[in-house]
Chain A
Amino acid sequence: MFSKVLSGAVLGVDGTIIGVEADVSDGLPSFTMVGYLSSSVKEAGERVRTALKNSGYHMPPKRITINLSPADMRKDGSCFDLPIAVSILKSMGLDSVFDMASTLVIGELSLNGEVKAVTGVLPMVYHCFSQGIRRCIVPIDNVGEAELVENMEVIGVSSLMETVEIIQGNKKPEKCKINNDSIKNSTEYHIDFADIKGQDVLKRGMEIAAAGFHNVLMTGAAGAGKSMLAKCLPTIMPTLSFEESIDVTKIYSISGLLEENSSLINRRPFRAPHHTISNYALCGGGVNPKPGEVSLAHNGVLFLDELPEFSKNVLEVMRQPLEDRKITISRVNATYVFPADFMLVAAMNPCPCGHFPDMKKCNCTINQIKRYQSRISGPLLDRIDINMEVKPIKYQDLFLEEKSECSEEIRSRVEKATDIQKLRYKDEGICFNSQLEGTLIKKYIKLDNQVESILEDAFVKMNLSARGTHRILKLARTIADLEGKERIGEIHIQEAIFYRNNGNYSVKEGF
């Protein structure tokens, strides 16, 4: 007898529907699986057989054929165990109270019949919903993310036996709603801007960066507070909108990085990969490409500490995602596009010993310093809007009693600025000034003659590129938005130019 159950797979960041067909017929006893399967799916056969036995079902000595369709797409992963088991049982005559042709079944089986969590549930459920499917059976640990899709009936199961009982209608599925309190709690942080002493300019730079999603580079001696500031950055960033949260959660779902019991990710991601990272880990890759750090940092911060220590080609592959806000990975089978709209925050020492320009401490030769700094290529620097020198703070400032502004206050200003931007760009499909491109820049950024002439001078003096000039404009727009001004004034453009680096970082001299 033939039967069919629906399951899903992930392509890039999107889900797709996979049909799982089983047929039990007379003939020599055999168990065959077809449909362009990777070895992890082929192994499913053994798991399913054992799990069925251990759950008390007897596999008949018949000819069993399993087909995963469409047959031209390579299947990978362990989420097909449960649908295969269910479809075998169905073809053996299992009654169901549901219409199994419109029910999504996902899950991995262990040998004793337990159902284990799998990755990529959210994108699959999301996709099936858009295809008109309104019911899904998922591992109990994945219920949280599946429930993010509104109006979807989510049935969480913990074992094969339970699944069968629910399908037969012998047992009511347990309703498990996500705990809304846990969502709220997760936006609390243990660090705060108020804990950082001094560094006024740096804090201001961070505020502007957060308000317009601009890239930042901090150069300064070891221990000056670069990493700490970067880690505080999420505390002042605007909260994620629901759509943005879904996008982020999808990526984390595919990567298997969702924490247990948490469903929606509503904190902006903060990714800080170590500098030994490879190309593929940063940008995504593999035979069936998985998202890399740039995608995991989507809608959030990618913090690269010790920037010159990253291998050169790793840094250079970031150029394209920095411009396009997505990354395209091409393989023989297919081309995948992962979102990569991240804010780059980088920190570096000015020289190998880390003390330049303090010549009393720095022992590096000029050549050493130049060589160290030239590890960051000009084109990459060109994509950085806010470039700041950080000076280590003095001892007396370290124990100052007076508290500086807390993150909450700064965030309220940032959110005001982002609200202005969202309203302004509501028809353009973007949210932040930094995302303006081409004609949009001309449309939304207009300068008075006086302001224009300041920019023109800077263009000549600082030897700016066209991209550099555009980036200054966008930055000035954000600075004006922070003040709630419609018109970009002189002080806004001046401040924007101040943060701009002069092409390549130029070594002059220490003191």
Chain B
Amino acid sequence: MEKALLNLWFNNIEDIGNITRLRLLKNFGNVENIYEANKNVLSKHLTDIQVNNLLQSKEISKSKEEYERLKERNINIIYWGHRKYPSKLYNIYDSPTLLYVKGTMNDSINSYNSNIAIVGSRKLSVYGREITDYFSKRLATSEINIVSGMARGIDSIAHMSALKAGGYTIAVLGSGINVPYPQENTELYAMIEKKGVIISEYGLDVKPNPGYFPMRNRIISGLSDGVLVVEAEKKSGSLITADYALEQGKQVYAVPGRLLDKNSEGTNNLIKAGAYLVTHPNDILSDIKGKKEYSQMSFNLEQPEITIQEEKDMVNKNFLAPIEKIVYSCLSLEPKYIDDIIQHTGMGVTKTISTLFTMEEKGLIKQPLKGYYIISI
């Protein structure tokens, strides 16, 4: 019998959870041995109910059906011990015994490339959006794989920016493998499927459940070498990911924010507790480069680190017409309302609108919300 099929059966027995499965696998070596074991042997490891459930489900017809449906939908199964099973996941407590996978499982996530998780608040601010985009793009172009949870907010931006930069991205779902959640991410789901990979512990048509999301966070951090928290409220799911990361011995990076910003309360607390404060993607790159397994990675750290502020100054100096300079100098990542810009420049409505329009065309500034402007980084 096919090994994948047996694994599918093994992972769908009622009342047997992931920890128990992992214990059985470690004791029996592989899933065939479990399938062939008799009642007496099994009852040494399991309760009576569990043994009964296991024996009763042994004719496997249900799993066969499920297996066919998965095949139809191009969903692969990667089980504990499979040659493609992400090696990093063996090292965590509670390794998932089965992963449903859609898309291309790139070998790079196992070996020579580093994975970084970018997570954060669902309710994101303009600042969070821009910073996520900035980090995700630059890390992705340095051949770092971006891991996240495809949730609303920071997660979605992280995936999207990585894809836009031509990078590889891994989405770990808290719902069934074929269930994009939230629904508005259906398009993103299709894009990741093409150029990245979608992973879930949960099978076909499983609805998202509040309990599943913290569980998938252990996979997000488990797959990664470090977790970057961009924005998090005081009690945020991203902090659970950061906790898992610490438990699993991974680095936690955090982007600092203002003291009074609700969305930065969580990240600031992380920094207070000893997380690695990052202000530039290079901070993460040099930290990774320090690990011996990645010392061969090709990205170049020789070029001088330019901060966002320095970059802004450079643009101001070299690319702008005098009128544009006046406008540019009053903008930041904090959205500014057009009336305030007009007051600042004193150029009148028509001229200011025209200048803003041209600058937006050139990609120097952005309009995250109608009438509000920020610089683009």
The 8 Å CB contact of B370, one of A198, A199, A202, A387, is A387
A389 pairs with B350, CB closer than 8 A? no
> Which of B122, B125, B127, B338 is close to A201, meaning CB atoms less than 8 Å apart?
B338
Asked whether any CB of chain A lies closer than 8 Å to the CB of B351, the reply is: yes
**B60 on the interface (CB 8 Å rule)?**
no
Does B298 touch A at the CB level, under 8 Å? no
Residues of A within 8 A of B372 (CB): 357, 389, 511
Contact of B123 among A359, A389, A502 (CB under 8 A): A359
Contact between chains at B337 and A391 (CB < 8 Å): yes
A290-298, A429-437, A490-498: which one contacts chain B? A490-498
Known: A366-B152, A511-B127. A389 touches B354 (CB 8 A): no
- Given A389-B370, A511-B335, A359-B354 contact (CB < 8 Å): no
Q: Decide if B369 is an interface residue (CB 8 Å cutoff).
A: yes
Max count, chain B CB within 10 A of own CB: residue among A387, A457, A491, A502: A491
- Please tell me if A510 contacts chain B, counting CB pairs below 8 Å: yes
From 256 to 276 in chain B, residues with beta carbon under 8 angstroms from any chain A beta carbon are 262-263
Residues of B near A366 (CB, < 8 A) are 122-123, 152
From 99 to 143 in chain B, residues with beta carbon under 8 angstroms from any chain A beta carbon are: 122-129
Query: Is B338 a contact of A508 with CB atoms below 8 Å?
Result: no
> Is the CB of B166 closer than 8 A to any CB of chain A?
no
Known: A198-B339, A391-B339, A511-B334. A359 touches B350 (CB 8 A): no
Query: In the complex, are the beta carbons of B371 and A494 less than 8 A apart?
Result: no
Complex Cα gap A251–B369 (Å): 41
Contacts A201-B339, A508-B369 known; A490 to B354 CB distance under 8 Å? yes
Q: Which of A201, A494, A505, A509 contacts B358 (CB 8 A)?
A: A494
Bound CA span A414–B191, Å: 51
Residues of B within 8 A of A357 (CB): 335, 369, 372
**B interface residue count range (under 10 / 10 to 19 / 20 to 34 / 35 or more):** 20 to 34
Which of A201, A359, A508 lies in contact with B262, CB distance below 8 A?
A359
State whether the Cβ of A360 lies closer than 8 Å to any Cβ in chain B.
yes
Contact A389 B369 (CB under 8 A): yes
B294: Cβ under 8 A from any A Cβ: no
A388 CB-CB contact with B under 8 Å: yes
The answer to whether B342 touches A498, judged by C-beta atoms less than 8 angstroms apart, is: no
Kindly provide the distance from the CB of B349 to the nearest chain A CB, expressed in whole angstroms.
4
- CB atoms of A457 and B361 under 8 A apart: yes
In the complex, whether B17 has a CB less than 8 A from a CB of chain A is: no
Q: Which residues 8-62 in B have Cβ within 8 Å of A in the complex?
A: none
Cα distance A198–B122 in the bound complex, in angstroms = 34
B357 within 8 A of A: yes
Residue numbers in B under 8 Å from A201 (CB-CB): 338-339, 342, 349, 353, 371
Taking a contact as CB atoms under 8 Å apart, the answer to whether B262 and A498 are in contact is no
Asked if residues B339 and A199 are in contact (CB atoms below 8 Å), the reply is yes
B249 at the interface (CB under 8 A from A): no
CA distance A502 to B338 in the complex (A): 17
CB <8 Å contact, A204 and B262: no
What are the residues of chain A within 8 A of B152 when measuring CB–CB? 366
Which of A360-395 touch B at CB < 8 Å?
A: 360, 365-366, 387-389, 391
Q: How far is the CB of A209 from chain B (nearest CB, A)?
A: 14
**What is the chain B residue whose CB lies nearest that of A509?**
B124
Q: How far is the CB of A108 from chain B (nearest CB, A)?
A: 54
In the assembled complex, the Cα of A139 lies from the Cα of B361 at a distance in Å of: 66
Which residues of chain B have a CB within 8 Å of any CB of chain A?
122-129, 152, 262-263, 334-335, 337-339, 342-343, 349-351, 353-354, 356-358, 361, 368-372
Given contacts A200-B339, A510-B126, 20 further A-B contacts (CB under 8 A): A199-B339, A200-B343, A201-B338, A201-B339, A201-B349, A201-B353, A202-B339, A204-B350, A357-B369, A388-B370, A389-B369, A389-B371, A491-B353, A494-B358, A498-B356, A502-B370, A509-B126, A509-B368, A509-B369, A511-B125
Q: What are 6 A-B residue pairs whose CB atoms fall within 8 Å in the complex?
A: A200-B349, A201-B349, A204-B350, A360-B262, A497-B357, A508-B129
